[in-house]
Chains A and B, each alone.
Chain A
């Protein structure tokens, strides 16, 4: 179970430079969330995969409200800020998210599936932390989600293929935000190879996604995306 701290910044356990590193990494994700919402409002298409949205909001709820953050109260509030940004994303998911799927049968169950997904992830993460599997700031559950999200991003850009619905700013800010948190984990959790492997896997998938983005934009991978779209029908 995570240990509660009354400090805003837990500098007794973590040097200030590391907390700044973590904070900057989190800020990268705020940039990504703002860009996701802005693009969704403009395009009426939510680029972040539905499977990732339901897991993210559940993680932010559990770690923002139900468990204390070992890094300090400031970071609990940071997670809550993510949560409130993510509420907007969840709203957009329910409004336009069904456009991520093409089959009418899947569209019909899309919203109930999202509700089920959020509830299942929230309960699962709550007990994952409760069983003592996580770090004191949610890194392991967070990176399980992150790895899944990064993999789903690769799938969704290939399947959807309309680049104007995706943002390069999101691609870079999520990669950089996650990469900074990865550096933090390498310094703070050097004896947890499971977590570090998830970090590296996520980084590899994020870089693949950026590479695909540029590839589709330059036309070199455009036929690959078109082929995927065709195959998905």
Chain B
């Protein structure tokens, strides 16, 4: 068996790999931006359901299954997973603050743990059933679309929108946009995946628009 290449240029073109790498880097920066707010303000801006979906995807694709993009990307997925472990820790520690009701706090952590387990099993079986690409992007964009959709109502619901980070909003949009570039180049025939990409992009652009128009409430 030949050793795994650092970057799989045999199956993927250099521009496609650059799109993916740049998008992956933007996502790593977005995660760092989220972590920064967790440390500075004890605030987790990613919706709880999306955090559960993300860590499940990263566990499935970083640890259990292996992308065929090359060793560099395998470790990239694992870096996402590691960063997300800290985000999950932040969610379990500070996420209950979003609920503002003592009674629900009793169930929040249990619900997060159960959601992570349910997402992990679902994604693992989805991949095992052969519904995903060898890079994990079908399941990845299912989770990302859900996150992009959930960001909008959560942003509206939050009384204090100041802790939401413009850096994260832009990195998320840029990261998704660049990986979508990869999808367009590598999977032009997979119209389901491209639909997921398009809907995610629309939601991300709308979130950035919302962010810049409504982050600071209008003066009465």
Number of A-B contacts (CB under 8 A): 62
Partner of A128, one of B99, B107, B118, B192: B192
Q: Are A194 and B214 in contact (CB under 8 A)?
A: no
CB contacts (< 8 Å) of B104 on chain A: these are 224, 227-228, 231
**Main secondary structure on chain A at its contact with chain B?**
helix
CB contacts (< 8 Å) of A227 on chain B: these are 101-104
Residue B157 CB within 8 A of the other chain: yes
Q: How far is the CA of A223 from the CA of B99 in the complex (A)?
A: 15
Q: Are B101 and A228 in contact (CB under 8 A)?
A: yes
Q: Are A124 and B192 in contact (CB under 8 A)?
A: yes
Q: Are A124 and B199 in contact (CB under 8 A)?
A: yes
Within 8 A of A (CB), among B154-213: 156-157, 190-192, 194-196, 199, 202
Residue A103 CB within 8 A of the other chain: yes
Residue A130 CB within 8 A of the other chain: yes
Q: How far is the CA of A197 from the CA of B104 in the complex (A)?
A: 27
B52 to chain A minimum Cβ distance, whole angstroms, is: 11
Q: How far is the CA of A171 from the CA of B2 in the complex (A)?
A: 56
Number of interface residues of B (CB under 8 A): 27
CB contacts (< 8 Å) of B100 on chain A: these are 230-231
Residue in A closest to B159 when the chains form the complex, CB atoms: A233
Within 8 A of B (CB), among A197-233: 197-198, 201, 223-224, 227-228, 230-232
Given A194-B122, A198-B122, A232-B157, are A127 and B101 neighbors across the interface (CB < 8 Å)?
no
Q: How far is the CA of A137 from the CA of B126 in the complex (A)?
A: 18
A26 to chain B minimum Cβ distance, whole angstroms, is: 24
Within 8 A of B (CB), among A147-202: 192-195, 197-198, 201
Number of interface residues of A (CB under 8 A): 27
Q: How far is the CA of A10 from the CA of B101 in the complex (A)?
A: 53
The 4 closest A-B pairs by CB, nearest first: A231-B101, A194-B125, A127-B192, A227-B103
Query: Can you sample 23 A-B contacts with CB below 8 Å?
Result: A103-B156, A105-B214, A106-B156, A116-B202, A124-B199, A127-B191, A127-B192, A127-B195, A128-B192, A131-B192, A133-B192, A192-B129, A193-B125, A194-B125, A194-B129, A195-B129, A197-B122, A197-B125, A198-B122, A227-B101, A227-B103, A227-B104, A230-B101
- Mark A residues whose CB is within 8 Å of B: 101, 103, 105-106, 116, 120, 123-124, 127-128, 130-131, 133, 192-195, 197-198, 201, 223-224, 227-228, 230-232
- Mark B residues whose CB is within 8 Å of A: 99-104, 107, 118, 121-122, 125-126, 128-129, 131, 153, 156-157, 190-192, 194-196, 199, 202, 214
